[in-house]
Amino acid sequence: MMRRNILLGALGFLGVLGILVSCSKKAAVIERPAFNSDSAYVYIERQMAFGPRVPNSEAHTQCAVWLIEQLRAFGAEVELQKGFMPDYRGNNQQIYNIIGHFYTEETKDRPRILLGAHYDTRPWSDEEEDYNDRFYNVPGANDGASGVGVLLEVARQLGLRMADSTFTMPVDIIFFDCEDMGTPRVYTGLEREDTWCLGSQLWATHYMQKKNPQYRFGIILDMIGAPDATFPREMYSTQYAANYQQQIWHSAEQLGYGAMFNNQQSYPITDDHYYINYIAGIPCVDVIHYDIRNATGFPWWWHTRNDDMSNISKATLQAVGEVVMAQL
Ligand SMILES: [Zn+2]
């Protein structure tokens, strides 16, 4: 991702402080859910081996095919949502959203939990200082592969639960396309609205209109693998899905990850969860690396050529994976 909304952030900040409940007392220990960060790490390496998963590239297609195969291997029924959305120049961009349904006979009619991450990577490293470097693809270890890697391991765990009959909650795992094609800094043409998150915009309109599945809530993972990751409470999530954000951050604290899932408030961030909340009306929470000490709010490697495996930590993947599994 993406872009932060500074004006709305400044306006919302004081209001939000009032409703944040600080979990300051010592939390009770809860059972640690099964999650294997070695496996999540390998799923990230595997995506990186395709090369940057830039839309309209061979690597992007190969990665999409591989993701479909993986979800099927873990027991999902997989749908491919295809369509077009206008890109930042107004040209039609082909979208391929990958949707894996995990359910059993007993759970198939219950409202589902939506877990999502974008699998595309940004065509431009437009946060690079040197102008010439801004035309390189972002490798996308964190910005793309990390969220997908954790959700593939979640998918594997769901498959295991189905096998030993401990599966209770139907889950849709969605790998969104074209999240990160928002207007590049190097573009000098007319500025358009809503150029980020094209896949989730397509899903929230066309897929939901056609199929109208019922969801309890959703979680989006984006840039969740860095060794120094911090996840403050993102403001659109607080605005649209405060109860679920509270529940997720509370689980994190109980699991011992309260310093990572901290109680600071971030600016509102235009990520896939925004359109899921705003268009589809599904309460959806963004877990995204944000650091108020940086000028952009995002980590130093964000939208640069340095977004590579050297900035992926198994300890962070483990934390995020356990927190997600604790919701299922
Ligand atoms: Zn990005």
| Cα 28 to ligand 1 centre (Å) | 36
pTM above 0.75, yes or no: yes
| Cα 112 to ligand 1 centre (Å) | 27
In whole angstroms, give the CA distance from residue 19 to residue 298.
24
Q: What is the pLDDT of residue 15?
A: 44
Mean pLDDT, rounded, for 288-306: 93
Alpha-carbon Rg of the chain, whole angstroms?
A: 18
Ion ligand 1: protein residues whose beta carbon lies under 5 Å: 1, 143, 180
| Cα 172 to ligand 1 centre (Å) | 23
| Cα 3 to ligand 1 centre (Å) | 9
In whole angstroms, give the CA distance from residue 1 to residue 326.
25
pLDDT tens digit sequence for 235-245? 999 999 999 99
| Cα 37 to ligand 1 centre (Å) | 23
Structural tokens at position 327? 């919701």
Q: Provide, rounded to the nearest whole percent, the portion of the chain with pLDDT above 90.
A: 87
Mean pLDDT, rounded, for 219-232: 98
Q: What is the pLDDT of residue 18?
A: 41
How many other CB atoms sit within 10 Å of the CB of residue 27? 15
| Cα 271 to ligand 1 centre (Å) | 9
**Per-residue confidence at 9, pLDDT binned at 50, 70, 90?**
low
CATH number assigned to the domain comprising residue 81: 3.40.630.10
In whole angstroms, give the CA distance from residue 120 to residue 198.
11
Burial class (CB within 10 angstroms; exposed 0-12, middle 13-18, buried 19+) of 108: exposed
How many other CB atoms sit within 10 Å of the CB of residue 105? 6
Q: Looking at the predicted structure, is the pLDDT value of residue 278 above 60?
A: yes
Residue predicted with more confidence, 12 or 266: 266
| Cα 30 to ligand 1 centre (Å) | 33
Q: Looking at the predicted structure, is the pLDDT value of residue 294 above 50?
A: yes
Mean pLDDT, rounded, for 200-209: 96
Number of domains comprising the chain:
1
The residue among 298, 275, 284, 138 whose CA lies nearest residue 224 is: 298
Q: What is the pLDDT of residue 57?
A: 98
Q: What is the pLDDT of residue 25?
A: 47
| Cα 161 to ligand 1 centre (Å) | 32
Domain containing residue 19: 3-325
